Amino acid sequence: MPANDAMDKLVSLCKRRGYIFQSSEIYGGTGSVWDYGPLGVELKRNVKDLWWSAMVHQRDDVEGLDAAILMHPRVWEASGHVDGFTDPLVECGSCNRRFRADLDEVLAGQCPVCGAKDAFGEARSFNLMFKTFMGPVEEAASTIYLRPETAQGSYVNFLNIQGAARQKVPFGIAQIGKAFRNEITPGNFIFRTREFEQMEMQFFVEPGTDDEWFERWLEARLAWHQSLGIRPEKLRVHPHGPDELAHYAKKAVDIEYEYPFGWKEFEGVHNRTDFDLSRHQEYSGKRLEYIDPGTNQRFLPYVIETAVGVDRTMLVALVDAYREESIEGDERVVLALAPALAPIKAAVFPLVKKDGLPDVARALHDGLRSASIPSFFDLSGSIGRRYRRQDEAGTPWCITVDGQTLEDRSVTIRDRDTLEQVRVGLDHVRGWIRERLDG
Ligand code: GAP
């Protein structure tokens, strides 16, 4: 399928089913900012919960943090963002639109919007941080930034967390939170947006052990992506060449995914050395060294960072799950999301609206919900239509209450992907689903 068609279909499904809407749509939309609807917000929570579970709850050596979005402005001087967090920008002399100078079309000398040839002015650096003012006075002294990454909150809290949690190096700090970048060329739906959420982990290690930890974390992150059901053949590792390395990195790789618009970054794994801690030590005047309790040696740890977007993970999950199939001449669109990611785990349908079937189905639905299994009750339309709606929503199991239920208290459970149907006793449905969610 051509890239544009594939993305258009996904965008339209996301709107139709309540995953993702354009921000402020009734006003014509806000450029590259998106709102998550009822199913989108559930998918987002599932992504974050699975990341938090793998990175914090299942480990003894990573602590959680939720640092504020607004930080002392000196943080961004120390981190290098005030001077260095820029993209090269050019303006088309014909249509006055601005683009990143490194876009393929721009490098080829043609304006991507009006098509004018060789009409670009000189490239200049454009800082991607959003600026605002703190307090009632709009002056340079009160300038403050919306953070462009969560990482800095972990560096400035390094000693707070190490001391409070009585951690020893090596250990990590994990955060999930909003970040903002005034991207010049956002796009591809939620791939590159101006407001997004990051899931970042900074792992502090003794210098000399950094290469080994880098490899360990890269492996752990690839395993996590596959645990979400992402097809392994759609993932690859791209090491950064010297011209791609960020100002803070000794080594960096992108875990890339093959989106409909090509292989692009999904997650970054970076060896940031002691760049950030040493800069914060210098700019704040506070010692940030770690004292090894065994040797009493003082040192600034190196940092291995894993950094992935929540929205980017959702895009990968949605793209990877989207299928169009023909079943015995019937077309269906299905989102084959891993059950752990699926916003609704089960949909409960009475086959017909009579003979007391709706009451039995409603009781089953309530029982699932009270067992914290997100469930959806639907009695409108033919059973085929109800299945199709849930296939598009990504619901793994549809449960039908029918005439036989009244005789032997069993229901059918239909699997979204294989379409197989099994009969399960009413009292075992919860356990049947829980086993598959936890297993
Ligand atoms: N702390 C390091 C850091 O921020 P990055 O590679 O700039 O590194 C990390 O960002 C991840 O955040 C990316 O791999 C991507 O998943 C996500 N991300 C970055 N910019 C984004 C944007 N404008 N929109 C959506 N996600 C973005």
392 lines ligand 1 (CB under 6 A): no
In the 8-state DSSP scheme, what is residue 371?
T
Q: Are residues 190 and 239 in the same domain?
A: yes
- Where does a domain end: 283, 318, 353? 318
Q: Is the separation of the CB atoms in 375 and 367 below 8 Å?
A: no
pLDDT for 49: 98
308 lines ligand 1 (CB under 6 A): yes
87 lines ligand 1 (CB under 6 A): no
In the 8-state DSSP scheme, what is residue 301?
P
- Answer whether residue 294 is part of any domain: yes
> How far is Cα 325 from Cα 308, in angstroms, rounded to an integer?
31
> How far is Cα 63 from Cα 52, in angstroms, rounded to an integer?
10
* Phi, psi dihedral angles at 65 (to 5 degrees): -150, 145
Angle at 291 between CA 289 and CA 294, to 5 degrees: 160
Q: Are residues 285 and 428 in the same domain?
A: no
> How far is Cα 12 from Cα 9, in angstroms, rounded to an integer?
5
Q: Which domain holds residue 164?
A: 3-71+139-318
In the 8-state DSSP scheme, what is residue 426?
G
Q: SS3 of 423, please?
A: strand
Distance 20 CA to ligand 1 centre (A): 19
> How far is Cα 375 from Cα 385, in angstroms, rounded to an integer?
17
- The minimum-distance atom of ligand 1 relative to the CA of 190 is 25
CB atoms near residue 46 (< 10 Å):
21
Q: Are residues 383 and 281 in the same domain?
A: no
> How far is Cα 29 from Cα 21, in angstroms, rounded to an integer?
9
Q: Are residues 314 and 348 in the same domain?
A: no
Q: Is the separation of the CB atoms in 76 and 179 below 8 Å?
A: no
- Answer whether residue 49 is part of any domain: yes
Per run of 10 residues, the mean pLDDT along the chain (length 439 residues) is: 86 97 94 95 98 98 98 97 92 92 90 92 93 87 94 98 98 98 90 97 98 98 97 97 87 97 97 98 98 96 98 98 92 97 98 95 98 97 95 98 97 97 98 94
Q: Tell me, what CATH number does 209's domain have?
A: 3.30.930.10
Q: Tell me, what CATH number does 400's domain have?
A: 3.40.50.800
Count of helices and strands (H, E) across the chain: 14, 23
279 lines ligand 1 (CB under 6 A): no
- What's the structural domain count of the chain? 2
| Nearest residue by C-alpha to atom 21 in ligand 1 | 192
Q: Are residues 351 and 309 in the same domain?
A: no
Q: Are residues 193 and 292 in the same domain?
A: yes
Q: Are residues 355 and 295 in the same domain?
A: no
pLDDT for 69: 98
> How far is Cα 283 from Cα 31, in angstroms, rounded to an integer?
35
- Answer whether residue 102 is part of any domain: no
pLDDT for 292: 95
- Answer whether residue 202 is part of any domain: yes
CA distances from 330 to 13, 325, 413 (A): 18, 8, 20
Which tokens sit at 291?
A: 């004292």
Strand partners, 163: none
Distance 197 CA to ligand 1 centre (A): 9
- Answer whether residue 134 is part of any domain: no
Say whether pTM exceeds 0.85.
Answer: yes
Q: Are residues 203 and 55 in the same domain?
A: yes
Q: Are residues 405 and 371 in the same domain?
A: yes
The angle that helices 357-370 and 429-438 make with each other, rounded to 10 degrees, is 40
- Answer whether residue 114 is part of any domain: no
Alpha carbon 217 to its chain's center? 18
Q: What is the DSSP string of 188-256?
A: TTTTB-SEEEEEEEEEEE-TTSHHHHHHHHHHHHHHHHHHTT--GGGEEEEEPPTTT--TT-SEEEEEE
Q: Are residues 303 and 361 in the same domain?
A: no
pLDDT for 170: 98
Q: SS3 of 85, please?
A: coil
> How far is Cα 97 from Cα 109, in angstroms, rounded to an integer?
14
Which tokens sit at 421?
A: 């149907």
- Answer whether residue 110 is part of any domain: no
| Nearest residue by C-alpha to atom 24 in ligand 1 | 192
Q: Is 238 exposed, middle or buried (0-12, 13-18, 19+ CB in 10 A)?
A: middle
Q: Are residues 284 and 367 in the same domain?
A: no
- Answer whether residue 299 is part of any domain: yes
> How far is Cα 369 from Cα 356, in angstroms, rounded to an integer?
20
255 lines ligand 1 (CB under 6 A): no
Q: Are residues 310 and 374 in the same domain?
A: no
